[in-house]
Amino acid sequence: MPDANALLDTTTTDGAFLVLAIVLPAAGVLLSFVLDGRHAERIAFVLLPSGLVLASIIFADVWRSGHRLIYIVGDWKPPLGIALRADGLSAAMMLTMAIVICAVAVFAHADFGTRAGSADARAPFAFWILLMAIWGAMNIVFLAGDLFTLYVAIELLTFAAVPLVCLDGRAETMQAALRYLLFALLGSILYLVGTALLYGSYATLDIVLLSRQLRMEPATLVAATLMTIGLFAKTALFPLHLWLPPAHAGAPAAASAVLSAVVVKGSFFIVVRLWFDVMPGMLGPAGAQLFGGLGAAAIVFGSVVALQQQRLKLLIAYSTVAQIGYLFLMFPLALDPVSAELQSGPALTGGMLQAISHATAKAAMFMAAGLIYAVLGHDRIAELGGIARAIPMTIFAFALGGVSLIGLPPSGGFLAKWLLLEAAVDTGQWWWAIVMLAGGLFTSAYMFIVLSSAVALPSEPLKLRGTVPRYQEAAALALALTSLLLGLVALGPVDILGVGRPDSIMGEPR
C-alpha cells in the first residue's frame, strides 16, 4: 500500500498543533520553576484554557477531515524518527481531559490559590506545576506514535501523579504515595522489558510499522503479557488495585479528582493502543475473556467494598475500582468471532465513552466530596444529614455524577453501557450483560445510601464549619452536567472515535 504508507509518513497540514499540545504544558512547567512560585497559578490560568482551545481545534480538525493528524518530528521518518499521530480516540480523549483539567483548575483556585502578597507556599506551587505536568503527559500518551515515547509519557504521568497524593504531607498520605509509586515502578519496568523484547524482534517500536510486521511467536507473546500486566498495575485493575483507594481518598479533593478522572485513563489508553492498534490479532478469545473476567471481578469487588465504606471519599475511590472494570469489558465484546481480531466497532466506542463519562462524572463527585468535607469538617456518610439543604448545588452535582455512573439515560454512562450491552447481545455473550446490570444495581445502591443520608433531616442542627465559594460548586456541577449531557452530544460526533482506526485506513471508513 504505497499510498497509505506515504500518507502515514508525512506531516499533515495542521500537524503542528500536536507539537503545541506537548510543548505548551512543558513550557508552563519550566516557566513556573524559573519564575517565582507565585506565578505558577497565573501561568496555569493562561495555559490551561489555551490547552482547551487547542484540544478543541484538534478535535474539530480530526472530526471534519475524517483523517488523523500526523506530525513527523524533525522530518525523521519512523522507524528511526518519532511520529505524533492524533486519531479519533486521541482527539476525543484530549478534549475530555482538557475539559476536566480546566474545571479542576477553577475548583482548585480556592484551595491552592496564591493570594496577592502572600509568601509562596509549597503546596500551591507544587499543585499547579504538577497539574500542568499531568496535562502534558496525558497529551503525549494520546499523541505518541511509538511504544517507547508512550513509556516516557507514562513515567512522566506517574512522577506528576505521585506527589499529588501527598500534597498535604501527612504520614498516611505519604505511605499511600509510596505504595502507589512502588506499584507504578513495577508496572513501568515490566512495560520497559516488553518494549525491549519487541524491539529485539522487529527493530521498530512505531505503532503502525509494528502492527504490520507482528507475528505470533513466543517473544511477542511474552512482551505483550509483561506490558499488559505492567499497565494493569498502573490502571489499578483488580487484583492490582490495592494502591488506589488510599491514594485517591487521601489526596486533597482537587488532586483526587485529577487522579481518579485523568491519570488512570492514561495507562488504560495505552492498553487500548497496544491491543487494538499494535496487535489486534494477538489477544484471541481466551485472552479477551480473561480481560473481561478481571473487569467483571473489579466491578463486583469494587462495588461490594464501596457499599461497606463509612467515609465518602473512600466510597468514591472504590467506585473508581469498579468503574475501571467496565473499561475492560469491551475487550471480549470487541473481539470479532470469525477473525479473532479486536475490531473497532460499537464495543470500542462504548468502552471509550465509558472512560470519558467516568472521567467527567468522577471528577465532579470527588469535587463534591471535597466541598462536603469543607462544609462539615468530616465526610462520614452516616452523619451527612441536612447537608443537601446547606449546599444543594453540590449534592445535585454529586447525584448527577451518580446518574452517569449508574448509566441512566441520557447520561454518557447510559450510552456507553448501552453500546456495550448491545455488543454483548450481538456476540451472544450474555454473561457480560449480567455483570453490567449487576454493576448498575450495586452503583445505584451505594449512590442511594449516600443521597438518602444527605437529604435526611439531621437529628441535631447542622454545625457548618465554613462556607464554600459558589464557583467551586459551579465547577463540580459543570462537569456533572457534561457527563449527563454526553449521551445527547454523542448522538452527533460519536463517529469521531472511529477516525483513523487501522481498519478504516486499510478498508473504507466506517
**Contact positions toward other proteins, by CB under 8 A?**
80, 148, 151-152, 155, 158-159, 162-163, 166, 168-172, 174-175, 177-179, 181-182, 185-186, 188-189, 192-193, 195-197, 199-200, 203, 246, 249-250, 252, 311, 313, 373, 378-379
Q: Which is nearer to other proteins, 103 or 197 (CB)?
A: 197
Element (H, E) at 430: helix 430-455
Least separation in angstroms between residue 384's CB and other proteins is 16
Least separation in angstroms between residue 33's CB and other proteins is 15
The CA distance from 353 to 364, in Å, is: 17
Q: Residue 206, SS3?
A: strand
Q: Which is nearer to other proteins, 172 or 217 (CB)?
A: 172
The CA distance from 292 to 267, in Å, is: 17
Least separation in angstroms between residue 318's CB and other proteins is 14
Least separation in angstroms between residue 178's CB and other proteins is 5
Q: Which is nearer to other proteins, 155 or 495 (CB)?
A: 155
Q: Which is nearer to other proteins, 270 or 327 (CB)?
A: 270
Contact 57, 16 (CB under 8 A): no
Q: Which is nearer to other proteins, 199 or 396 (CB)?
A: 199
Least separation in angstroms between residue 233's CB and other proteins is 11
Q: How many CB atoms lie within 10 A of CB 371?
A: 26
Among left, alpha and beta (phi > 0; psi -120 to 50; other), residue 428 is left
Least separation in angstroms between residue 203's CB and other proteins is 5
Question: What stretches of 78-227 adopt beta strand conformation (E)?
Answer: 83-86
Q: Which residue has 462504548 as its cell numbers?
A: 350
Least separation in angstroms between residue 114's CB and other proteins is 21
Q: Which is nearer to other proteins, 134 or 497 (CB)?
A: 134
Q: Which is nearer to other proteins, 266 or 500 (CB)?
A: 266
Please state at what angle helix 346-376 crosses helix 470-489, rounded to 10 degrees.
160
Q: Which is nearer to other proteins, 96 or 472 (CB)?
A: 472
Element (H, E) at 22: helix 16-34
As given in the structure block, the three cell numbers for residue 110 are 480556592
Q: How many CB atoms lie within 10 A of CB 188?
A: 20
Least separation in angstroms between residue 256's CB and other proteins is 10
Q: Is the torsion defined by CA of 112, 113, 117, 120 positive or negative?
A: positive
The CA distance from 133 to 26, in Å, is: 7
Contact 400, 481 (CB under 8 A): yes
Least separation in angstroms between residue 491's CB and other proteins is 40
Contact 327, 353 (CB under 8 A): no
Least separation in angstroms between residue 182's CB and other proteins is 6
Q: Which is nearer to other proteins, 39 or 311 (CB)?
A: 311
Least separation in angstroms between residue 169's CB and other proteins is 8
Burial of 102 (0-12, 13-18, 19+ CB in 10 A): buried
Contact 165, 251 (CB under 8 A): yes
Q: Which is nearer to other proteins, 30 or 437 (CB)?
A: 30
Q: Which is nearer to other proteins, 177 or 298 (CB)?
A: 177
Enumerate residues 6+ apart whose C-beta is below 8 A from 237. 294, 295, 298, 324, 325, 328
CA distances from 145 to 96, 133, 174 (A): 20, 20, 35
Is there a cis peptide before residue 410, judged by omega within 30 degrees of 0?
Answer: yes
Full 3-state SS string of 331-389 = HHHHECCCCCCECCCHHHHHHHHHHHHHHHHHHHHHHHHHHHHHHHCCCEHHHCCCHHH
Q: Which is nearer to other proteins, 192 or 324 (CB)?
A: 192
Least separation in angstroms between residue 219's CB and other proteins is 11
Q: Residue 144, SS3?
A: strand
